[in-house]
Chains A and B, each alone.
Chain A
Amino acid sequence: MIWLRRLLLWLPGRRRSRTRELQEELRANLSLALEDAAGSGLPPDEAARQARRYFGSLTRAQEESRAVWFPGWDAVSQDLRFAVRTLARTPGFTLVAVLSLALGTGAATALFSLVDTVVLKPLAYREPGRLVFVREVIPPLAHIYPTLPVNIQHLRFWQEQSRSFDSLTAVNGGSSRLSTGDETEVVGGAWVTANLFDALGVEAQLGRTFQPGEDQPGKGKVVVITDGLWRRRFGASREFVGQSIRLDGAQYLVVGVLPASFRFPRGGDLGSLSRLADRTEFFVPLRGVNPGWGGDYDYPVFGRLGRGVTPAAGIAELNLLEGRIAKEHQLDAGLHVQVRPLQEVMGAPVRTSLAVLLTAVLLLVLIVCVNLANLLLARGNARAKEFSLRIALGASRGRLLATALVETLLLAAAGGVLGLVAARTALNAFVHWAPVDLPRIDEVRIDGRVVVFAFGLSLLCGLLFGLLPALRLSRADPQKALRAGSHSISGSRHGLRLRECLVGAEVSLSTLLLVLAGLLVSSLWHVLHVDRGFSADRALEVRVSLPSRYGKVEDRAAFFDLAAARLRALPGVRAVATASRVPLTGESNVNSVKLEGGDDGALDPVTRQLVMVNVRFIGQDYFNALGIPLLHGRAIEASDRDRKVAVVSGRLADKLWPGQNPLGKVVSSGSGVDHAEVVGVVGDVHSTQLEHDPTLLIYIPFWKFAYQVSGLVVRSSADSGVLPAEVRRTLLSIDSGIPAPKMRTMGDLVSESVAGRRFQMDVAVAFAVSALLLAALGIYGVVAYGITLRRRELGIRIALGARAGQVRRMVVWQGLRPVVFGLASGMLVALAAGRLIRSLLFGVSATDEWTLGTITAVLAAVAVLACLLPAHAVARIDPAGVLREE
């Protein structure tokens, strides 16, 4: 009972009101006592004095009552007040300690919530652990595409035969023009088997998802949309379900709206050749696809494993089925599947980035801890006398530890709060600035778990490194310390050695971070200086989505011809060309190649593997507009409209016709390349990322293949901010019904392609600089402390004739000793661990002498500076004064 009442008193406000109540009670009772005294006949003053004396001390009554309510409270509050006062008396120490704690916890907390959301938190699907992502592996293609999306016939066979899976479901992504009223917009969508939402375990928040069989031919056209699209375009109207929308000109009945929590993977999440949009906003049943058994590996497939079925069993069964497919349909033997947990797949693209972040954060937190220990140790030594005095006066060890504990907790709490603020800021900045390829980044927020993590970490750092010095001190022998007076303090030599070790560790950890940052900086430099093969200056990519009335390829070609002609006439425009796809926007139209006289696909002369090419459809002036150099022959020209001609990239020419003249050769491939004569050879360009090998390309005239969605490249003679507006106006002047075109400069594309790498580098550099600062702080502290400790010795040296410069040099050299050890050990670890980050590097080895050398120089310079600054104090030592103190 009593503990319950005590507990109740801790309720907010309860303590204060109880205290007030007691005060009131005491006052009332005292006035009763005073009234009684007034009636006693004594002189009023004397009566009141006596009454008060008999009544007793009000203060004591209150204090003792508090002790009844909150046993131990007074001791704690005394410690707390004492701690606040001590910390306030050394603002420098307090500031540095709190800030470094905040830095460490802030960085770690921000990262924790990021990793928590992106990688650890389960997907918002039912029992996400049973969801897997399936791709196929075709051994002859494995050297280019280790895995491919799935052929839909194979999927149907699996669906019929498989027992391990509750469901298997295919999707295919793309985009459509969504029209309501006058407004047309291109939105990402997915064509899916009707069982998709059942497989994922997602139900509509409004209306329904697809019914079984709704993907069969002949059923009505229905669409399910996301919460985002519903709110954005349809004002979240509940009557909206049951109405129709127009997609690419066709009417679709809206049957359901997905919940706001629904997330769908993006193309980038699911590996190469997965054609999912970056943001999928509508879902339509996938119908009437009936390709052969041996091509069109186009469909990302999700599966839900049966209850209790292991992924291994699922893989084994699918592989068995793959064997039967390969046999029955004369496909490559060895056809098999790759099955991965969906959860892992969706976090995979960022795993290495996050690993870099994690390493950096761990190192930083370690440095913060070491720094804190260093600071507290220095402070502990400065307070050794105070502690000794308190021990001598009878303070128990527990009491001293309690004092230190309260102080540490206070620091940790402040560090935790500031750390959370820092984490919030960092996260907001991160979500804003991070390259967009982090899945689910919009879900990242500071929640209860994150807060617990922040304070837990701050507390752990504080306790671990705050209590150690206190433990050491509370064991001190007070006699010795007090007797030794102010000149030297017991154990301080030992303390200096310990602090030197800590500084060494700090330098070592900083070296690691600096090496990581240095290598990433160097890698980015190398990537940016790769020969791109095209010139990004003043070139604009314009992607146009034609309305559905441009049903015929001639109409589309005519539109692009007209658009190119009109754009060419704009002032300052130097070249305009049509292109199905420009460099750095991904691979597409991937095919094997047949040469004249060969029935099978051409093989690479060195690796004896199939040569796979990307086909591009371009108009005249394309190479001009992008600055791609023409190596041999001629480019595609306007007169090639009806000719079967092709231009190939340099590397492709070398592979197909090594040592021969490629001009005049005839080549066939998929995507409409049919016995085309090679008329020119151009320089290589990159399709995906600058750090990958350039793509093998065949360019053919676009007129016969003009797509509904196609690009225009506009090159101007000067940077012009108004160009995009003029381009838009020009296109609308041809057809006012065209949705707003998407425009990016080629420079933007280059930046986008290295955004992830640049971000990694920025983070690593920020961390490395923080680490360097902390290490410098540590070095400074140790040197300054060493000088205070050796004032007498240094004073005597000067008195005996040593020049201040000599003494200073000695101090600096000694200060650098731990730095040398730290640097050397850090470099050794960096050399050993270099392998681990090899996958992140480009154009630079993990043991690059130039990078390591630069870092050594930077660290050494900072360390020398950190030693020199406090070493100036040597000049201020007054030898006479020092000797007099004796």
Chain B
Amino acid sequence: MKPSRVEFLQGTLDMLILRTLALGPLHGYGVAQAIRQTTEAAIQVEAGSLYPALQRLEMQGLVTAKWEVSERNHRTRSYRLTAAGRKRLHAEVSRWEDFVHAVSLVLNPQPMEE
């Protein structure tokens, strides 16, 4: 039952949060849940990483936060992607894709074709 943890690279968490928020504003727990569900519980973001990351993103101006009453009638802080955040997300994603591509080239070398 225990989900296997995936260790990820520094900076990846920021990207995951930005990607999650790109779908719409969410509070902290919502972000954690979304990541957990999307990754089928492979990635479990815990509070000790999540909230500092949110603070960092907020200070960098990539997300904004404001207090809102959630659909379940809880007053929580809800985070929203800013234009700068969206730009950063695109940059991060393309960097990540380059990286994955490069790594996969190493792992699965394609036969050279003429």
Contact = CB atoms under 8 A, between A and B. Distances in A.
Interface of A: 1-2, 5-6, 21-22, 25-26, 28-33, 35-36, 54-58, 60-62, 64-65, 67-69
Interface in B36-71: 36, 44-52, 55-56, 59-61, 70
A21 B66 CA distance: 11
Contact of A65 (B44, B52, B76, B77): B52
Given A25-B28, A57-B47, A64 B74 contact: no
Nearest to A3: B59
Contacts of A55: 29, 32, 46-47
A28 B50 contact: no
B52 A29 contact: no
A28 B47 contact: no
B48 A68 contact: no
B95 to A, nearest CB: 20
A623 to B, nearest CB: 91
A23 to B, nearest CB: 11
Contact of A28 (B49, B55, B75): B75
A60 B48 contact: yes
User: Lowest 8 CB-CB distances: which A-B pairs, in order?
Assistant: A56-B46, A60-B48, A56-B47, A64-B52, A29-B29, A61-B47, A61-B51, A28-B76
Contact of A31 (B28, B44, B61, B74): B74
Given A2-B60, A5-B59, A61 B52 contact: yes
Given A25-B76, A61-B52, A32 B70 contact: yes
Contacts of B72: 32, 35
Contacts of B44: 54
Contact of B51 (A6, A35, A54, A65): A65
Contacts of A54: 32, 36, 44, 46
A60 B52 CA distance: 9
Contact of A25 (B48, B61, B77): B77
A2 B59 contact: yes
B70 A57 contact: no
Interface of A is mostly: helix
A68 B61 CA distance: 14
Nearest to B36: A54
Given A29-B28, A32-B72, A67-B52, A60 B77 contact: no
B80 interface: no
B48 A64 contact: yes
Interface residues of B, number: 26
Contacts, number: 80
Contacts of A28: 27, 74-77
Contact of A29 (B27, B36, B49, B61): B27
A64 B51 contact: yes
Contacts of B49: 56, 64
21 contacts: A5-B59, A22-B55, A25-B51, A26-B28, A29-B29, A29-B47, A29-B76, A32-B29, A32-B76, A35-B72, A36-B33, A54-B36, A54-B46, A55-B29, A56-B45, A56-B47, A57-B47, A64-B48, A64-B49, A64-B51, A65-B52
B45 to A, nearest CB: 8
A68 B48 CA distance: 12
Given A28-B76, A29-B76, A68 B59 contact: yes
Given A28-B27, A56-B49, A57-B46, 15 more contacts: A1-B60, A25-B28, A25-B77, A26-B47, A29-B29, A35-B72, A55-B29, A58-B47, A60-B47, A61-B51, A61-B52, A64-B52, A65-B55, A67-B52, A68-B59
A22 B46 contact: no
B51 A26 contact: yes
A57 B29 contact: no
A1 B47 contact: no
Contacts of A69: 55, 59
Nearest to B48: A60
Nearest to A1: B61
A58 B60 CA distance: 23
B100 to A, nearest CB: 27
Contacts of A36: 33
Contacts of A64: 48-49, 51-52
Contacts of A5: 59, 61
A588 to B, nearest CB: 79
Contacts of B55: 22, 65, 68-69
A56 B74 contact: no
Given A1-B60, A69-B55, A56 B76 contact: no
A33 B50 contact: no
Contacts of A22: 51, 55
A698 B32 CA distance: 107
A197 B75 CA distance: 71
Q: Which of B44, B50, B51 has the most C-beta atoms of chain A within 10 angstroms of its own C-beta?
A: B51
A828 to B, nearest CB: 64
Contacts of B56: 68
Contacts of A61: 47-48, 50-52
Contacts of B59: 2, 5-6, 68-69
Contacts of B52: 61, 64-65, 67-68
Nearest to A56: B46
Contacts of A68: 52, 55-56, 59
Q: Which of B28, B33, B72 has the most C-beta atoms of chain A within 10 angstroms of its own C-beta?
A: B28
Nearest to A5: B59
A432 B45 CA distance: 70
Nearest to A60: B48
A57 B51 contact: no
B46 A32 contact: no
A514 to B, nearest CB: 61
B90 to A, nearest CB: 19
Contacts of B77: 21, 25, 28
B48 A32 contact: no
Contacts of A65: 51-52, 55
Nearest to A32: B29
Contacts of A35: 72
Contacts of A67: 52
Given A28-B75, A32-B74, A68-B56, A56 B29 contact: no
Nearest to A6: B59
A869 B51 CA distance: 61
Contacts of B75: 28
A55 B31 CA distance: 12
